[in-house]
């Protein structure tokens, strides 16, 4: 049997392990991308490991979240990243140059190569036939130093596409349909590889939307073949020489298959709270809204901006609506200006923001309390927009545009014929936003940039109170909130730790400090969403030594191990029911259990009951966890 494209890419970069589902593998990383919310910590960790220069052939540090620089501490972070990039060999992408995933796809994607990013939406570049994976900052720092990226070999699932999208139906509706069917944990331990006769009808920008939001399915990544569509995309960018075919074998073997008829999909909307609460637009049509946004790394492409313009051209944004567009890159914004889109958008009453992640992470354009926001973004976890109790709906760009005109959620099919969208023959080719490294200068650290903390070696026995008992789908936004007031501290673990579980339990930090050592109990899919490593480092700093959950999201589990927090899963999920907040749990022989088969017994001091939990580790993970995390392990090796 032949190989899938995903398997071909993994085999070509394999440096450790056997590529069989469930086995740990290590792959060589050829490209790395960093963001200003996680990448600054990657550089700090890179320095803490004493590494002299980045090894991968392409490392790019992007300023794309805190573009507004609303606080000097944002600018301090950016200056640190720029000076570190210059010294250690990374390209620096200036504020306003664009969102990392969009810009990287446009400027640096190479079919057949590997990409590791400090952001969970890095799989967007899988739309170009790359093996692109998101990871925690520390794993990225290791890759910057030339180390392999380790992960469990996923099952490769073929998504077989037939038919073509009907008018007013978009790629966003495709990924929302998959979320509706499979839920946010439906891609756990899997790679989705897209194929079938319907594939040729999807433009590169549409493939980017689908690959990007595969992160919401908890996929390891998504992969599209590099074909004539990819070649056309790179040619319009002036990068035809970077194109190469990347295809599965004709007789490729897959672990599973999902069939999706594109012609059967209709416009969809995700209800507030989770990207998988998906319903047909008819169920929410007529819902009043006060804010509409289009952009983020999911819907910031030329295709999205052009589609919005075609809908609102010659009309006016509804008086009750604030309508904001976030082009994904300076290249797109410049092309919009050249092609005349900006004039039509401004005349209609739209606001054009700098190319930025911005409000997707609660930085700017925070909705008013008690109002509804409709967004062509990728996530709508509670509080992510920057205000507690928010109501954020997710939709496609054309649904957003139609709704901006009416003031209520609107089915775009009611507008009549769908306008055609024409791709420009050539996109703008900006270069001013990139700064190449020269290996010179000193790394400049502002007063808000603090040393990276070390984890604590796992103790023989852990007896500690349960500080929080949580339900299912706890996101990293719940653990370490987004928003300008919090993200300003991404280079300062002690300061950002003060915001841990801020919107879940305002007293959590105070109780953690009193407890000294503590345990968190969670439900299914604990740690879903963003790759933000502070969701592990901040609890570690506050004394959390273990998390017991029904299941963990992939990146967050890796982050917990990298920082010395023991991720334990219930052998019997029903044991969750017998635990209450403030119960003292005793785990005898914890270290010995981890050194053996990873199975230990927990005693609840209040009830006297016992239950079994497991932490199944690879030998590499076991060494890291027992040492108190990867940096602690590295520090121990340097002193012996």
- Report the SS3 class of residue 15: strand
Tell me the HSE value of 224 on the side-chain side, using a 13 A CA sphere. 32
The region of weakest confidence among 36-45, 522-531, 629-638 is 629-638
The crossing angle, in degrees rounded to 10, of helices 204-213 and 100-107 is 140
3-state secondary structure of 462: strand
Question: CB neighbours (10 Å) of residue 244?
Answer: 14
Same domain, 87 and 146: yes
Query: Contact 561/629 with Cβ under 8 angstroms?
Result: yes
pLDDT computed for residue 422 by the predictor: 86
pLDDT attached to residue 84: 97
Interatomic CA distance for residues 547 and 466, integer angstroms: 9
For the residues 491-497, what does the mean pLDDT come to?
Answer: 94
Tokens of 82: 């720029």
378: three-class secondary structure by DSSP: coil
Whether 419 contacts 310, CB under 8 Å: yes
403 and 551 share a domain?
no
273 part of a folded domain: yes
Using the 3D structure, point to which of 183, 215, 249 is the last residue of a domain: 249
> 122 near 116, Cβ under 8 Å?
yes
- Phi, psi angle pair for 552, to nearest 5°: -125, 150
Asked, for residue 427, whether it belongs to a domain, the answer is no
Tally of domains within the chain: 3
Mark whether 353 and 480 lie in a shared domain: no
Q: What pLDDT does 300 receive?
A: 96
pLDDT score of 410: 98
198 against 530, higher pLDDT: 198
* Whether residues 225 and 82 fall in one domain: yes
Query: Does residue 444 lie within any of the structural domains?
Result: no
In a domain, 342, yes or no: yes
| Residue 433 to residues 93, 251, 442, 630, Cα–Cα distance (Å) | 6, 44, 21, 34
pLDDT given for residue 69 in this prediction: 86
Q: Same domain for 338 and 402? A: yes
Q: Rounded mean pLDDT of 37-58?
A: 94
pLDDT single digits (tens) 564-613: 999 999 999 999 999 999 999 999 999 999 999 999 999 999 999 999 99
Residue with tokens 């040393």: 451
- Partner residues linked to 521 by β-bridges: 469, 548
401 and 287, same domain (yes or no): yes
pLDDT at 173 (0 to 100): 98
* Residue 464 β-bridge partners: 585
Q: Measured between alpha carbons, how far is 213 from 239 in angstroms, rounded to an integer?
A: 25
- Residue 482's pLDDT is 84
Asked whether residue 213 falls in the same domain as residue 278, the answer is: no
| 600 beta partners | 613
Would residue 91 count as lying in a domain?
yes
Query: Does 261 reside within a domain?
Result: no
Question: Which of the listed residues 215, 249, 283 is the one where a domain comes to its end?
Answer: 249
Q: What is the CATH number of the domain that holds 370?
A: 3.30.499.10
| Domain C-terminal end among 249, 284, 315 | 249
Q: 497 and 617: one domain?
A: yes
Q: Are 298 and 212 in contact (CB under 8 A)?
A: yes
pLDDT in tens, 323-347: 999 999 999 999 999 999 999 999 9
Please indicate, yes or no, whether residues 366 and 488 belong to a single structural domain of this protein. Answer: no
Q: What is the pLDDT of residues 441-463, one digit of tens each?
A: 999 999 999 989 899 999 999 99
pLDDT score for 638: 58
Distance CA 242, CA 567 (A): 42
pTM of the model: 0.94
Domain assignment of residue 93, given as a range:
5-153+205-249
Asked whether residue 242 carries a pLDDT value surpassing 60, the answer given is: yes
Together in a domain, 93 and 20: yes
Torsion angles phi and psi, residue 303, rounded to 5: -60, -45
Residue 554 in this model has a pLDDT that exceeds 80: yes
Which of 310, 339, 354, 355 shows the shortest CA–CA distance to 107?
Answer: 355
The CATH number assigned to the domain holding 498 equals 3.20.19.10
- Are residues 333 and 103 in contact, defined by beta-carbon separation less than 8 angstroms? no
Strand partners, 132: 115
- Cα separation, 319 vs 232, in Å, equals 40
Is residue 177 in some structural domain?
no
Please report which confidence band the pLDDT of residue 1 belongs to, taking 50, 70 and 90 as the band edges.
confident
Instruction: Indicate the average pLDDT of the chain.
Output: 95
Q: Give yes or no for residue 483 having a pLDDT over 70.
A: yes
Gap between the terminal Cα atoms of the chain: 49
> What's the mean pLDDT in 241-248?
97
User: Does 218 share its domain with 290?
Assistant: no
For the segment 393-410, the average pLDDT, to the nearest whole number, is 98
Instruction: Give CA–CA dist 421/443, Å, rounded.
Output: 46
> Which pLDDT value is given to residue 637?
65
Q: Residues 6 or more apart from 311 whose CB is under 8 A from it? A: 398, 401, 402, 405, 412, 415, 419
Residues 6+ apart with CB under 8 A from 569: 548, 549, 550, 551, 552, 613, 614, 615
CA separation for the pair 417, 258 (Å, rounded): 31
Q: Is residue 456 part of a domain?
A: no
Q: Residues 521, 468: contact at Cβ < 8 Å?
A: yes
Task: Dump pLDDT digits (tens) for 413-446.
Answer: 999 999 988 889 899 888 889 999 999 999 999 9
Confidence of residue 71 (pLDDT cuts 50, 70, 90): confident
Cα distances (angstroms) measured from residue 217 to each of 213, 529, 559, 585 = 7, 9, 19, 33
Strand, helix or coil at 40? helix
Which residues fall within 8 angstroms of residue 506, CB to CB, at 6 or more apart? Answer: none
Mean pLDDT of 625-631: 95
Residues 244 and 377 in one domain: no
Q: Which position has the token pair 């998101």?
A: 134
């Amino acid at each position: 049997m032949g190989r899938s494209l995903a398997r071909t890419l993994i085999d070509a970069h394999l440096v450790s392990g056997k590529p069989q589902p469930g086995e740990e593998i290590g792959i060589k990383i050829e490209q790395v991308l960093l963001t200003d919310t996680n990448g600054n910590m990657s550089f700090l960790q890179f320095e803490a490991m004493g590494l002299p220069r980045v090894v991968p052939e392409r490392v790019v540090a992007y300023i794309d979240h805190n573009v507004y620089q609303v606080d000097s501490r944002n600018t301090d972070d950016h200056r640190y990243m720029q000076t570190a990039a210059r010294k250690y060999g990374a390209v620096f992408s200036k504020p306003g140059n664009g969102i990392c995933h969009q810009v990287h796809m446009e400027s640096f994607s190479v079919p057949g190569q590997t990409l590791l990013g400090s952001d969970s939406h890095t799989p967007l570049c899988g739309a170009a036939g790359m093996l692109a994976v998101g990871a925690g900052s520390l794993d990225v720092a290791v890759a910057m130093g030339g180390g392999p990226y380790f992960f469990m070999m996923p099952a490769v699932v073929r998504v077989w596409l037939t038919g073509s999208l009907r008018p007013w139906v978009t790629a966003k509706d495709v990924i929302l349909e998959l979320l509706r069917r499979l839920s946010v944990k439906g891609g756990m331990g899997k790679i989705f590889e897209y194929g079938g006769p319907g594939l040729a009808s999807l433009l590169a920008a549409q493939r980017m939307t689908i690959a990007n939001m595969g992160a919401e399915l908890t996929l390891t990544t998504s992969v599209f073949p590099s074909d004539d569509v990819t070649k056309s995309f790179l040619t319009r960018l002036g990068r035809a020489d970077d194109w190469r075919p990347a295809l599965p074998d004709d007789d490729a073997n897959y672990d599973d298959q999902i069939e999706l008829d594109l012609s059967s999909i209709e416009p969809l909307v995700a209800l507030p709270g989770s990207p998988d609460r998906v319903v047909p637009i008819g169920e929410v049509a007529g819902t009043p809204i006060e804010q509409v946004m289009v952009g983020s790394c999911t819907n910031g492409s030329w295709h999205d901006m052009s589609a919005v313009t075609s809908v609102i051209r010659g009309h006016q944004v509804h008086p009750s609506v604030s309508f904001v567009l976030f082009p994904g890159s300076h290249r797109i914004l410049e092309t919009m200006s050249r092609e005349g889109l900006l004039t039509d958008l401004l005349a209609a009453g739209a606001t054009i923001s700098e190319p930025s992640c911005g409000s997707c992470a609660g930085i700017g354009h925070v909705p008013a309390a008690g109002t509804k926001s409709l967004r062509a973004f990728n996530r709508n976890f509670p509080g992510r927009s920057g205000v507690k109790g928010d109501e954020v709906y997710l939709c496609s760009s054309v649904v957003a545009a139609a709704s901006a005109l009416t003031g209520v959620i609107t089915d775009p099919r009611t507008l009549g014929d769908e306008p055609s969208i024409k791709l420009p023959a050539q996109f703008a080719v900006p270069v001013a936003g990139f700064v190449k490294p020269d290996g010179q200068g000193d790394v400049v650290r502002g007063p808000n940039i603090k040393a990276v903390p070390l984890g604590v070696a796992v103790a023989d026995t852990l007896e500690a109170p349960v500080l929080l008992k949580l339900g299912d789908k706890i996101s990293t936004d719940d653990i370490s909130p987004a928003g300008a007031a919090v993200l300003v501290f991404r280079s300062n673990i002690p300061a950002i730790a003060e915001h841990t579980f801020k919107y879940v339990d305002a007293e959590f930090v105070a109780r953690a400090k009193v407890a000294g050592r503590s345990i968190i109990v969670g439900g299914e899919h604990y740690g879903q969403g963003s790759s933000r490593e502070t969701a592990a480092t901040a609890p570690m700093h506050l004394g959390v030594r273990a998390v017991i959950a029904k299941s963990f999201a992939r990146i967050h589990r890796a982050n917990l191990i990298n920082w010395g927090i023991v991720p334990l899963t219930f052998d019997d999920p029903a044991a969750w029911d017998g635990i209450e907040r403030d119960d003292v749990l005793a785990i005898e022989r914890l270290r010995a259990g981890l050194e053996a088969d990873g199975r230990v017994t927990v005693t609840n001091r209040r009830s006297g009951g016992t239950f079994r939990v497991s932490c199944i580790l690879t030998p590499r993970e076991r060494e890291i966890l027992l040492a108190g995390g990867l940096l602690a392990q590295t520090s121990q090796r340097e002193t012996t």
